[in-house]
Each structure stands twice: as structure tokens, then as C-alpha cells.
Structure 1
Amino acid sequence: MRCWLKVVVWCVIAGLAACSQNESRYAMKHDTGPDRHVDVTHIPDAVPKYEARTRAGNKNPYTVLGQTYYLIEDESDYKERGTASWYGKKFHGHKTSNGEVYDMYGMTAAHKTLPIPSYVRVTYLKNGRSVVVRVNDRGPFHQGRIIDLSYAAAQKLGIASAGTGPVEVEIVVPGDTPPPPLRPEDRAATHADGIYLQVGAFSSASNAKGLRDDVDSVLEARVFVSEFLAAKSLYRVRIGPLADMAEVSRVRGKLTGAGFSAGHIVKD
């Protein structure tokens, strides 16, 4: 009897501890910085380096608060102006989208559509200060904001006290060579450079996305839009990578059975 009671008590305590850990991230109603002033001037900027991109943090597409987001396939010319915000103590010590632990004193950031990891230079347009940060998280999901900076990055820029500020965000790549474009989330798979089926090409991004969504509804294989930049942009709807011709045949059978074109084979 005593052993049984000990087990019950232990399970209750363990359950309460688990609940406490799950809820602790949101124990703070409002996010904040450290309790006392911290000198962040000595914290170096992130140093761009080549890193393997895996599925971690790169689900594509993904949906948050009813909004679906599609990752940028080729970020090598990414540059954008908009509003930056920052996040701090409420999330400090908890996991980011790719499973790393968020450190508000690190030079990191969250972005909605850049592949993880990416490196960007963020310039505060009010004072001209800039920092380089490593994107390892998703967000911000407040309307009108384009990047969520760590507390340290925001403090170095001069944004922390205001909460938000106008910035320019530009991709930074190691050396002079842009990193290879991010392919759909299976880029890390052993057959990432496999066979693709192209089922459509459009001058309109919205038309391409419409076909992608329709095809995606009948397939288990990955369906994505690839933008081809030329005199005029061309948006190509592709399926893959597919491991071999047997898989190609299976996919084509499902396509034609659902009333779609069987597509044509392309190699990437």
C-alpha cells in the first residue's frame, strides 16, 4: 500500500511540474527586458557561415493564427524595409522554431519567411546603426512587423526602449557567394537533387499558388512554386523531389486521375 501511495504522489508531483514547465513561458503577461541594465556593447554581431539547412524550422508552408506563410526559396537578393520589434525575458531559455534555445543576449532574430538559418543586416533608419543577426526563429506575427530582434540586437540598435522602429533588413551571405537557394523542406533528404515534375508555369504568382494548392490537395508529395527571374518573372508549379521513376509514375497516376496534367520531368 505504501509503495502504491508513493507512486501516486510521485505521478501527481511530476504532472504538476510538467504543467508548470509548459505554462511557464506564458507566465509573464507582457514581455520585458532584463530586470537591470545590461551592457550589450561587447556582444559581437553574428558571423555569417555556411550551415546545413534541415527540416527544423523550415516547414513550408506553415500556418499561424489563420495565416499561411510560404518560405522564400532564394533569399540571395532579399532586402526589405518595415517595422522591427524585439522579444526578451518571456521567451528567454525556451526553444526557438528550429529547436535551439532562445538567448535574449544573443544576436539572433525571428523572421516569417526567410529560411532558417539565415543571416541579415538590420539597419535602424532613425540613427543609421546596423547589426548582423542570425535568423533562427519564426515571427513576428503582429501585422506590419517584418522582423523580431533579440533584446541584445534591439538594444545595440537603439530600438529596445521604443519597442519598435523602422529598419532595413538585408540578407548577408558568407564570403561573396550566395548560399544555395532553399528548396522545399526536404532539401536535407538524401534524394534532394532528385526528379521533379512541372505541372504549370504562370506569369501571375497568384495563379501559380492557386494551382499549387489544388494539386497539393490530392498529393502526398511536396508541391511548391519556384520563381524564375528573367525579363519577366515566371512562376513554375513543381512537385518533388521524387526518388525514382516508379514514384514519378505513381504521382502522375494520381494527377491524371484527379483531372490534372501529368506534367513534364525536370531535373534540379
Structure 2
Amino acid sequence: MSYSSFLSRTGLIAVYLLLISCGGVITEKDSAPTKVPDVSQIPDAVPKYEPRSKYGNPAQYEVFGKRYYTLTSAEGYREKGIASWYGTKFHGRRTSSGETYDMYEMTAAHKTLPLPSYAEVTNLENGRKVIVKVNDRGPFHGNRLIDLSYSAATKLGIVAKGTGLVEVRTITPGKLQKTALSPEAEKTTPEKPVGSALMFLQVGAFSSRSRAEQVKNRLQQDFTDNIIIEPFEAVQGTLYRVRMGPVADVAYGDNLSEKLFDIGFRDSHIVIE
């Protein structure tokens, strides 16, 4: 190996190690701090223009055999999914953007958003909203959309459960609208369940209705869960989405994903409607 090739490879390894510095790839058990802070006194992140992280935005990267492609822009990003959180095990570690993770700040990790980005995260089960700075990569669990700092997760009310159904909407600095609840409003506004968040496990999306029917028939041989085919008008034409559910909870969805993986369906993931 030439010296220049060695340097190139070393640089890639360094980027990889930085990308996974927090982000949920450490297998040790995480936990909340022993002294719980008053999160109502912790302000949301304030979106501002910042330069892109030097090492946190490779065009693509691979973790656990899966390749991810970093978005060139955060503009217009909006997606529903499952949020998890990370706390003491990562507190003080370096994030993928190069910043130090502080579980008491309003931050988050995402697999593909540019670093840094800012996003409004809404808990679809109770209506709470927070604004976070996305400065890390992860979570690298197949059915997770975003990893929240301890404080952000606490304000959203998902720490006790471990996960929550959320919508993530990016915010462009200079275009911020006041949508998150202030600490004063949080004290006087009762939580109101949204009630429209349903989880499904999407097995695949196919351009052929007959192929979707074949997959449905195959699944019915091994599963008693409700299986549906939903037509969806995409840019490339009609797609037929094969879904299982509604799924009762995140743990059951994860269990279904593992079983599907074992029989050859490796791209299943939880979607929220």
C-alpha cells in the first residue's frame, strides 16, 4: 500500500470513527442522570446559520453493513417515525459533527440530515413540540428515525417509555415560526393526545400489483397479522405498498422486523400514518 493510499484509508477510518462516536452503536446500557434537571428551564435550540461539519457530512457512509447517503440540503425535510434517546453513556463524548455531546442540551442525532441542521420534533401521542440541533449521526437501529438528547426526550415525554412516535420537520434559519410551546405554556396547556398516530410495518413497495400480491400471500403463510396492499402514486408511477398492521407497539414492530429479516425481507421498516 502506498503512503498516499494509507493516508486516504486512514482518513476514511477517522471519518467513520467520528460518525459513530455517539449515535447509538455502543452496546452498553444507557441511562438517565441520577439527578433529574428541571427541563422547563432548558430553552429549545435556536436555529442559526452555521458552516457544515468538516467530517460529519460524507456523501455516503456505511455502518453495520448498511449504506447511508447524506442529504445535500435539509430544506423541506419532513418525516414521521420512531424517536429514541441517549443519555449518560454518551455524555461528554465527541459527536459526529465534532461537538461534545451534552445530554442536557437540546440536540439530536439523525442518519442523513446535514450536520448541523435544526428541526422541530413533535410527539404525535401528546402533541408536545421541541426544537433541536441535529449535530450527530444515528440511531443505527433499523426502525428508529431520530435519537434525542435526554433533555429533548424528557420535554417530549418519551424517556420513561424509551421511544416515541414523532414527526421531524426541519427548520431553515431565518424562516422560524413559533410553534413549540414555551415553558409557561407547557405549565398551563394540558397534554392532548393527537390520536391519529398508527404504526405499520412496511415490508416493501412494488411497481407491480401482482408482485405485491405474491409477497402478501407469502407473508400469510408465516404470520397471522393483518396484511394490506396500499396503492401509492409516486413520481415514477403507482407503487403497491405491502404493510402489516396496525402494529400495537414499537417492541412488537421490532420483533416483526427481525422475523421478516430471517425469511429474506431485509428492508422492512416501521411507518407512521
TM-score grouping bracket, smaller chain normalisation: 0.5 to 0.7
- Are residues 26 and 97 of structure 1, via their aligned partners in 2, closer, same or farther at CA, if it must alter by over 3 Å? closer
Does structure 1 residue 126 correspond to structure 2 residue 129?
no
> Greater CA radius of gyration, 1 or 2?
1
Instruction: Confirm or deny: 8 A CA contact 2:53 2:116 kept in the other structure.
Output: no
Shift of the 28–41 alpha-carbon distance from structure 1 to 2, 3 Å rule, reads farther
Provide the C-alpha distance between the structure 2 equivalents of 1:84 and 1:172, rounded to a whole number of angstroms.
Answer: 18
Name the aligned partner's letter for residue 74 of structure 2. E
How many angstroms does 1:59 deviate by? Answer: 1.6
| Distance change (3 Å), C-alpha of 1:77 and 1:27 | closer
Report if the CA contact (8 A) 2:25-2:139 is conserved: no
Preserved contact between residue 28 and residue 90 of structure 1 (Cα < 8 Å): no
Q: Which blocks of at least 5 consecutive residues in structure 1 are unaligned? A: 1-21, 178-230, 234-268
CA contact (8 A) 2:53 2:98 kept: no
Q: Deviations over 1:189-208 (max 9, x none)?
A: xxxxxxxxxxxxxxxxxxxx
The number of aligned residues is 157
Q: What is the distance in 2 between the residues matched to 1:88 and 1:51?
A: 25
Do structure 1's residue 166 and structure 2's residue 165 form an aligned pair? yes
- The residue number in structure 2 matching 1:103 is 102
Taking structure 1 as reference, are residues 132 and 65 closer, same or farther at Cα in structure 2, changes over 3 Å only?
Answer: same
Task: For 1:169, give the aligned amino acid.
Answer: V
Counterpart in 2 of 1:253? none
**Contact 1:60 1:71 (C-alpha < 8 Å) held by counterparts:** yes
Structure 2 SS opposite 1:122: strand
Q: For the residues of structure 2 that align with 1:75 and 1:159, how far apart are their CA atoms?
A: 25
TM-score relative to the length of structure 2: 0.54
2:19 is the alignment partner of 1:38: no
2:130, 2:155 within 8 Å by CA — same for their partners in 1? yes
1:53 aligns with 2:75: no
What TM-score does the superposition give when structure 1 sets the normalisation length?
Answer: 0.55
**3-state SS of paired residue (2:145):** strand
Q: Secondary structure at the match of 1:168?
A: strand
Aligned residues: percent identity? 57
The answer as to whether partners of 1:26 and 1:90 remain within 8 angstroms in 2 is: no
Deviation at 1:232, TM superposition (A): 5.2
- In 1, Cα distance between the equivalents of 2:92 and 2:53? 22
Q: What is the match of residue 62 of structure 2? A: 63
What per-residue deviation string (whole Å, max 9, x for no partner) do you get for residues 54-104 of structure 1? Answer: 422112201111111001123211000000000000000010001110000
Moved >4 Å (runs of 4+): 25-28
Instruction: Supply the distance in 1 between the matched residues of 2:173 and 2:164 (Cα, whole angstroms).
Output: 27
Match of 2:142 in 1: 143
Structure 1 residue 28, shift from structure 2 partner: 8.5
Alignment deviations for residues 125-164 of structure 1 (CA, whole Å, 9 cap, x no partner): 0100000000000000011100000000000010111100
The separation in 2 between residues aligned to 1:64 and 1:173, in whole angstroms, is: 28
Q: Whole-Å Cα distance in 2 between the matches of residues 137 and 111 of structure 1? A: 6
Q: Which residue of structure 1 lines up, in the alignment, with residue 263 of structure 2?
A: none
